[in-house]
Structure 1
């Protein structure tokens, strides 16, 4: 769980809830010139919306954190959403009680004011019921957005929304193709259900290296996954190579858990290649951004050579020549010209070893 990734999620939640509460406060008091007893001007209302938005944003983030990194993560999505909503309900009750107390603040005996406030009184109040309906709407809306971002990808969702790729366009892209070693044997020994759980656990751990390297998941294919960058971003600081070794390091750190659950620690082999692709949105009922190019076919063929060449990570010359010569994190071993299956011409291939 990268701190930077969680900070982004927290920032998104707080921003969304500040906007939501600002809208609620605006429409709640827009129809009347009368302000609550505790407010001296509209600035007080704006300040309230700001701080309440921060509180709900933090509760939203905490509820996601608690559910996503606990046994609740394997529950049906609607159940996990219900659990997340309970935290917001508690927060809503506390804030509604605060509102009620501030409304009665003009009473001189403040202790008597506290005794007048009860949970039943707050729940039965029109203001709380209105707030609760609004909170449910916002929570489900944000859950829908978050789930859509998980299924499609944040950048991909934005690009589809902006119509960036509705007309095909040429781009230079770098791809990493990760594939589990001995996956057929593992699937046979574990069975379909346990093997699918293994894939879930592995790719859950892949999320942090991908986020850290600023890559994007293109497509999952069983026990394999395609990750991509614009070429310039992928070769910068050798991110495409660091992603592979960071992922393997995380798998090693969780080795005890994997051995207890599955009897072994999964390993992955990978290939890296880049080139020109045509990027376009395809589909009507289910849209996605797809890449069309021989680059992907070549990448798959290159990855097939890992076992034959006794290498865990192979890099094409097209990628190797773009690395900064001053970078000394990895040793690139020239394996010569390799003839790939189904290809007319051979290509220069490099093995990769991390310099300790």
Structure 2
């Protein structure tokens, strides 16, 4: 699953850079009535466009991957952008030298010496400097989109761009509420700084897991996170349940690191519920997409019942009716439960999996 996600990211970046490079090549040679000396026909220009798009797309993807899996992700965002820019500079230089090599090949019909290729003539050429300037604008533009995607989510960013939620509209969605157990005690024992690092490390794992389950992290709220799908996506392969157990398993696999730095492995409890919500963009100077519905209030009240009922995960009967039975998930009927602030009881089910040892009960 993770490999597939990385492949999708790579494909998107290659397509984006190919489109950007097609504009560059078009403007670069549109003013000339003749083709460059190395080009036999216009098809060679298209080949150059794809070549540049693949190189810059791969370098962009590689720089993102390195930033995600190393200490660089903790660095200031400006440093990360500069770091990624080095990869583009390498790509630009590579293309410039390859283009120069093709030109010299066309003129002399043989490969020039390495000494001739490594002259400063390419660096000082107006075409190379123009390419670098263009790359800066494209890289900053894509970096802006990537950062907005991280802050808002891919779907939300697209919908805001399309103006989909500028007028409130109804949607049927599934919500998963994940909350850290004994967070107050952890904050007191660790102190504010180390506790905030614990939250960062925990939710970094959660973000990776959410991406694998095609989930949207709607909001982080201190030591809790609210995750969402459409009902169809959330019910598919029971993602709205498996995400939680996958998260617990991933934390357990990193137990040694958490125990080394914090002295314990954090535990989380969860609740899931579904229903109709109103979705709308709120705010003027700072906008965000918000959900309005009693579904979220019910979800919070349901999560509060995890500890009294001795369960790690609870779901509503309404959500269970949307899911199909599987052998590796077990539902335990808790009966109708009267939630705080509600007038009528709701059906509640506890959910366990064969990986329940990764998230043992309190």
TM-score class, shorter? over 0.9
Q: Which residue in the other structure is 2:70 paired with?
A: 70
Distance between the aligned counterparts of 1:67 and 1:243, measured in 2? Answer: 24
CA-based RMSD: 1.5
**Does residue 234 of structure 1 match 2:260?**
no
Q: Which residue in the other structure is 1:212 paired with?
A: 212
**Does residue 135 of structure 1 match 2:135?**
yes
What are the equivalent positions in structure 2 for 1:63-102 lying under 5 Å apart? 63-102=63-102
Q: Deviations over 1:284-331 (max 9, x none)?
A: 111111110111011001101111111100011111122124x22211
Q: What secondary structure does 2:142 align onto?
A: helix
Q: Which residue in the other structure is 2:176 paired with?
A: 176
Structure 1 residues 110 and 270: CA distance shift in structure 2, 3 A: same
Q: Deviations over 1:225-251 (max 9, x none)?
A: 111111122122211111110000000
Q: Tell me, which stretches of 5 or more residues in structure 2 are unaligned?
A: 356-362
Q: What secondary structure does 2:279 align onto?
A: strand
Q: Is the 8 A contact 1:104 1:113 kept in 2?
A: no
Structure 1 residues 29 and 321: CA distance shift in structure 2, 3 A: same
**Does residue 12 of structure 1 match 2:12?**
yes
Q: Deviations over 1:243-281 (max 9, x none)?
A: 110000000111111111111111110001111111111
Q: Which residue in the other structure is 1:329 paired with?
A: 328
Count of paired positions: 355
What are the equivalent positions in structure 2 for 1:335-346 lying under 5 Å apart? 335-346=334-345
Q: Is the 8 A contact 1:60 1:84 kept in 2?
A: yes
Q: Which residue in the other structure is 2:255 paired with?
A: 255
CA deviation after TM superposition for structure 1 residue 131, in Å: 0.7
Q: Deviations over 1:115-146 (max 9, x none)?
A: 33324221111111011111111111111110
Q: Which residue in the other structure is 1:307 paired with?
A: 307
CA deviation after TM superposition for structure 1 residue 114, in Å: 4.4
CA deviation after TM superposition for structure 1 residue 355, in Å: 4.0
Would you identify which runs of 4 or more consecutive aligned residues in structure 1 move more than 3 Å?
Answer: 109-115
Q: Tell me, which stretches of 5 or more residues in structure 1 are unaligned?
A: none
Distance between the aligned counterparts of 1:355 and 1:257, measured in 2? Answer: 24
TM-score using structure 2 length: 0.95
TM-score using structure 1 length: 0.96
